[in-house]
Chain A
Amino acid sequence: MRTTIFVPGDAAALALGADAVATAISEEAARRGIAIKLVRNGSRGMVWLEPLVEVATPRGRIAYGPVAPAEVPGLFAAGFLTGGVHALCLGPTEEIPWLARQQRLVCRRVGVVDPRSLADYVARGGGEGLRRARAMAPAEIVRAVTESGLRGRGGAAFPAGIKWQTVRATAAPQKYVVCNADEGDSGTFSDRMLMEGDPYCLLEGMAIAGLAVGAAQGYIYVRSEYPHAVAALEAALAGAGDFLGNFTIEVRVGAGSYVCGEETALLESIEGKRGIVRAKPPLPAVAGLFGQPTLINNLITFASVPDILAQGAAAYRDLGCGRSRGTLPFQLAGNIKHGGLVEVPFGLSLRELLYDFGGGSRSGRPLRAVQVGGPLGAYLPEAQFDTLLDYEAFAAIGAGLGHGGIVAFDDTVDLAGQARYAMKFCAIESCGKCTPCRIGSTRGVEVIDRIRAGDGRQIALLEELCETMTQGSLCAMGSMTPIPVLSALRHFAEDFGGKCE
């Protein structure tokens, strides 16, 4: 019986040398005349332990990490194929506290399953949601999604069921299901990990959506910065056989435009145009891709659906707090000791995530600021770390959870510099359609430069500029760029030259 060894093929693991580890393991096994089965799984999400090698044993999967190629002969010598003792041994993977404390639903198979094997996916419970959906009326599927309380995971947190119902109720000969996998927010990587670690879950969610709204064609729009995710999806589609029935999915690759993560710009891009934001209405649910009713959701939204149908809407709704139901895969990033993927129900505090999971800063210095929700998210000071991770609790402090990305900064950060970057990023990425965003962002960089040079009178001008951008921009790019700028100014005034009184 060949021992199965798991070496992640996830992009973060690859960036930390997983391919060299996989090669070293194959060579060492061959040298010793041992037959092994090497599986390139996704990542378990414990990025500081990557490359994390797992060995299947009768006691379950035993983890070793972080493994360097030079340590491979030593691992064999220590009997790691039977879970032998070694300095890198972390014990049974599922019992590692960081993982054991999580409640993984949407990411339950990420890092566990062989992402290239439909058979493995099905053996681990995959396909059950789609099987049930096929026996349900479209309206029943939509009702299950509505009753689960699932909200859009891209950042806007719009109730998914309402969107699904709108598309279902709009009559048209052709409808589309579009997955937004243009995960451009810095500090986020859950979409990438799911595509690379459990792509069939996404395909299943989209096929269920197709049944619910009456669409037979799906598109997945993936950013060009994610070539490994594109390859994983293409491989999964090639191996899907008749798993999706008559629902067809095509992968479309972006081209380095952040604003294409905005749903209407994304649709323009699939149509082969510049990624320019459309005015709404009409909503994409009524007139979306190629002018047809289109269900466009974030990847995590679609990937949440198979489990909701398989386990029942109530099981999902029972998790979370307030109006934020279910779980969110948070991503701990930036200057953090134990960064990675933390899927938990809504309701933990930011502090628990930063310290109980994250272990504080990577540099060892105090954490000073945290940006939650990507480049358009607020910078929060230590005084707000006790905020509960819940859409409404974050809205109450003028912040947002966005796509669940959390970027930590230690006390060497200059928040005036970060505010300037927010404006600069908006200037680089603005699609140019509306004036407040296109011009306001460039003026914003200039005004912040003058403030940093000591002209405190410009603070009022910056605030007015932000007000114009917030009220006058067509989409979130321009209207939310003021959030990081003003939160930095409000909570870290001392970084702006102490002239903010």
Chain B
Amino acid sequence: MESSAIVAHIIEQHRVRPGALLPMLHAMQDALGCIPPEAVPPIAQALNLSRAEVHGVISYYAHFRQTPPGRHVVRVCCAEACQAVGGEALAEHARERLAGSGITLEPVYCLGLCACGPSVQVDETTLHARVTLEKLDALIAALESAS
């Protein structure tokens, strides 16, 4: 299916729900990897909102992105419980290691894995705990060789 058809299909699926915008945006990002700019006008029309209102919601929430991410998304927890066990050094190491790699690095503020930090999430599905610098290197190497 073309992306405009996917957008139209998702809008139809969700438009009648009360408070439909966030579920709609989630479905779109799950299907397309991001919420493309051309999806904004039809969403606004379906929900009787202005394009500015839709854009405001997309840009307010850290989770939503308007451009496609890299081949993979690596999220490193930067919150206090992970800081207490070396999370900052891990995040800094990830920044250096992933620069120019085509893999997207994002900070995340708590994954709820606070008794086994520092923690890392890959592609919103895979979780890793007690991540050392070496373990992170191995994780990234595996992502690079797989893609």
* Cβ-based interface call for B57 (8 A): yes
Asked if B26 and A255 make an inter-chain contact with CB atoms under 8 angstroms apart, the answer reads yes
* Alpha-carbon separation in the docked complex, A15 to B120 (Å): 9
Asked if A272 and B62 make an inter-chain contact with CB atoms under 8 angstroms apart, the answer reads no
Asked if A334 and B113 make an inter-chain contact with CB atoms under 8 angstroms apart, the answer reads no
With a CB–CB cut-off of 8 A, which chain B residues contact A256? 61-64, 108
With a CB–CB cut-off of 8 A, which chain B residues contact A287? none
One of A226, A339, A421, A429 near B112 (C-beta < 8 A): A226
Q: A16-B116, A252-B22, A272-B22 are in contact. Are A184 and B109 (CB under 8 A)?
A: yes
With a CB–CB cut-off of 8 A, which chain B residues contact A14? 127
With a CB–CB cut-off of 8 A, which chain B residues contact A186? 79-82, 109-110, 114
One of B21, B79, B80 near A272 (C-beta < 8 A): B21
Chain A: minimal CB distance from B80 (Å):
4
With a CB–CB cut-off of 8 A, which chain B residues contact A333? 81, 84, 114-115, 117
One of A189, A255, A429 near B113 (C-beta < 8 A): A189
Interface hub of A14, A188, A272, A429 (most chain B Cβ within 10 A): A272
How many pairs of residues, A versus B, come closer than 8 Å at their CB atoms?
A: 149
Asked if B23 and A252 make an inter-chain contact with CB atoms under 8 angstroms apart, the answer reads yes
Asked if B112 and A188 make an inter-chain contact with CB atoms under 8 angstroms apart, the answer reads yes
Q: How large is the interface on A (under 10, 10 to 19, 20 to 34, 35 or more residues)?
A: 35 or more
With a CB–CB cut-off of 8 A, which chain B residues contact A137? none
* Cβ-based interface call for A271 (8 A): yes
Chain A, residue nearest B62 (CB): A256
Asked if B60 and A272 make an inter-chain contact with CB atoms under 8 angstroms apart, the answer reads no
* Alpha-carbon separation in the docked complex, A375 to B63 (Å): 20
With a CB–CB cut-off of 8 A, which chain B residues contact A332? 115
* Alpha-carbon separation in the docked complex, A269 to B18 (Å): 12
Chain A, residue nearest B115 (CB): A339
* Cβ-based interface call for B73 (8 A): no
Asked if A335 and B56 make an inter-chain contact with CB atoms under 8 angstroms apart, the answer reads no
Chain B: minimal CB distance from A402 (Å):
12
With a CB–CB cut-off of 8 A, which chain A residues contact B82? 186
Q: Report A412-431 residues with CB < 8 Å from chain B CB.
A: 413, 418, 421, 425, 428-429
* Alpha-carbon separation in the docked complex, A451 to B117 (Å): 30
One of B18, B63, B114 near A189 (C-beta < 8 A): B114
Asked if A188 and B25 make an inter-chain contact with CB atoms under 8 angstroms apart, the answer reads no
Q: A225-B108, A333-B81, A425-B109 are in contact. Are A257 and B125 (CB under 8 A)?
A: no
Chain B, residue nearest A269 (CB): B22
Asked if A270 and B19 make an inter-chain contact with CB atoms under 8 angstroms apart, the answer reads yes
* Cβ-based interface call for B20 (8 A): yes
With a CB–CB cut-off of 8 A, which chain A residues contact B20? 272
* Cβ-based interface call for A68 (8 A): no
Chain A: minimal CB distance from B93 (Å):
17
Chain B, residue nearest A333 (CB): B114
* Alpha-carbon separation in the docked complex, A50 to B116 (Å): 10
Q: Report B97-147 residues with CB < 8 Å from chain A CB.
A: 108-117, 119, 121, 124-125, 127-130
Asked if A184 and B127 make an inter-chain contact with CB atoms under 8 angstroms apart, the answer reads no
* Cβ-based interface call for A290 (8 A): yes
Q: Report A223-255 residues with CB < 8 Å from chain B CB.
A: 224-227, 252-255
One of A47, A270, A274, A371 near B115 (C-beta < 8 A): A47
Chain A: minimal CB distance from B46 (Å):
12
* Alpha-carbon separation in the docked complex, A409 to B130 (Å): 16
* Cβ-based interface call for A258 (8 A): yes
Asked if B61 and A272 make an inter-chain contact with CB atoms under 8 angstroms apart, the answer reads no
Asked if B18 and A253 make an inter-chain contact with CB atoms under 8 angstroms apart, the answer reads no
Asked if B19 and A271 make an inter-chain contact with CB atoms under 8 angstroms apart, the answer reads yes
Asked if B116 and A255 make an inter-chain contact with CB atoms under 8 angstroms apart, the answer reads no
Chain A: minimal CB distance from B70 (Å):
18
Asked if B26 and A339 make an inter-chain contact with CB atoms under 8 angstroms apart, the answer reads no
Asked if B61 and A11 make an inter-chain contact with CB atoms under 8 angstroms apart, the answer reads no
Chain B, residue nearest A272 (CB): B21
Chain B, residue nearest A334 (CB): B84
Extra pairs beyond A257-B60, A425-B109 (4, CB < 8 Å):
A12-B115, A290-B18, A340-B115, A421-B83
In the assembled complex, 24 residue pairs joining A and B whose CB atoms fall closer than 8 Å, in A order, are A11-B127, A12-B129, A15-B116, A15-B119, A15-B129, A16-B116, A16-B129, A183-B112, A187-B79, A188-B114, A189-B113, A224-B63, A252-B23, A253-B22, A253-B23, A255-B62, A256-B63, A257-B62, A272-B21, A333-B81, A333-B115, A334-B80, A405-B81, A418-B83
Q: Rank and list the top 6 A-B pairs by shortest CB-CB distance, nearest first.
A: A339-B115, A272-B21, A186-B79, A333-B114, A334-B84, A255-B61
